[in-house]
Amino acid sequence: MELSGLTTRLLGRNFLWLESVDSTNTFLLEHGPQLCCGTAVATSCQTAGRGRMGKQWQGGQEGTLALSVLIGLPFPGEIYPLLPLLSGLAAAQAAGALTGEAFSLKWPNDLLYQEKKLGGILCEARGEGKNLQAVCGIGVNLFQDQGYFDSRGLVYGSSFALSGLPVPEKERWICAFLNHLEENLDRCQREGFASLLPGYTQLCANVGKMVALHTPGGVQTAFCTGVDSQGQLVCQQGERVFSVSAGEVSVRGLYGYV
C-alpha cells in the first residue's frame, strides 16, 4: 500500500495496513530481518498491544490507531536510546500541524492535550552490531468516548474526539508522524539531540513541576528542572541535582501525578 502525503525518503515507503494483529511492534520485531529500514505497519485492532513497563495496550476497531516503524541502518545505533523522545516530539508536531492546537509531552513517551493522555509510545530494539534494529511504536486514541476510559480505569485518558479536537484521518496522521519523525532522526544524526532540545523542552510537561520517580527503592519526589542533551530528565532534591534515564515518571499537575 502506498501512502500519499509522505515527504520521507525511507520511513513509510514500505507500508502495510493490517486488519488485525497482536501487536504492530511485535510484527516488526519478528519480521524485521526480512524488511527494509523504514517499513511501517498500522492497524485499528491490536489484540495484545503493549506499553512501557509491561503494561497492556489494546486498541478497539476504529477507535484507536496503532503504528510502528522499523529503524535500522543508515540510522546509527547511537541514537536508538533517544527514539522515545524523537518519536514523542514527532507526535506532538504532527498533532499540532493537523489540528492547529498545542500539545505537550510527558517524558519520555506520552502525548498530552490539556493534561490528558491521547497517545503513548513504545520503542524496542533487537539484534546487535550491523544487525541491530529498533521499532518505534505509537498508539493514538481517536474516537473513544468517556465510557471507554472509565470502564478501564484510565483516569487521565482521552481521545481526539472526546477532547473536542478535529479527528485526523488515519492516513494523514500516519504521514504527518512519519514525516516529522524522519526529519527529527536526520537532524539528530547530523547535529545531535542538543539541536532538538529547545523544542522538546518547550513541550515537556515535566519541566518546572514536581515529579514522582518510581524506583526499585520506592517512590521519590523531585523537582524537574529540564532535559539534558542526552535526553535524560534533570531533577533536583534540595541541593542534589541528578538525571533520570529510565523508569516510570509522573508529573504533578491539575489532577495529581499523571
Mean pLDDT estimate for the chain: 90
What pTM, to 2 d.p., does this model score? 0.91
Q: What is the mean pLDDT of residues 12-37?
A: 93
Residue 180's closest CA among 67, 44, 24, 31? 67
DSSP assignment string, 157-211: B--TTTTTPPPPPHHHHHHHHHHHHHHHHHHHHHH-GGGTHHHHHHHBTTTTSEE
Q: Strand 104-106 vs strand 110-113: parallel, antiparallel, or unpaired?
A: antiparallel
Beta strand 240-244 with 110-113: parallel, antiparallel or unpaired?
Answer: unpaired
Of all helices (H) and strands (E), which one includes residue 50?
A: none
> Residue 176 belongs to what domain range?
15-202
Same domain, 53 and 81: yes
Residue 4 lies in a domain: no
Same domain membership, residue 214 and residue 88: no
Q: If you count them, how many residues does the chain have?
A: 258
Query: Are 157 and 242 contained in the same domain?
Result: no
Pair 172, 215 in one domain: no
Q: State which of 202, 219, 239 marks the end of a domain.
A: 202
Q: Is the pLDDT of residue 128 over 90?
A: no
Q: Return the DSSP state at 98.
A: H
Does residue 250 sit in the same domain as residue 192? no
- Total number of domains constituting the chain: 2
Same domain, 190 and 226: no
Distance of alpha carbon 174 from alpha carbon 44, whole angstroms: 12
Q: CATH no. for residue 211? A: 2.30.30.100
Q: Determine contact, residues 173/94, Cβ cutoff 8 Å.
A: yes
Looking at residue 6, its amino acid is L
60 & 98 share domain: yes
Please report whether residue 22 resides in a domain: yes
In a domain, 192, yes or no: yes
Predicted confidence (pLDDT) per residue in 26-51, tens digit: 999 999 889 999 999 999 988 865 55
Cis peptide before 108 (omega within 30 of 0): yes
Q: How do residues 183-236 score in pLDDT, each as one tens digit?
A: 999 999 999 999 999 999 999 999 999 999 887 778 889 999 999 999 999 999
Q: What is the pLDDT of residues 84-127, one digit of tens each?
A: 999 999 999 999 999 999 999 999 889 999 989 999 999 999 88
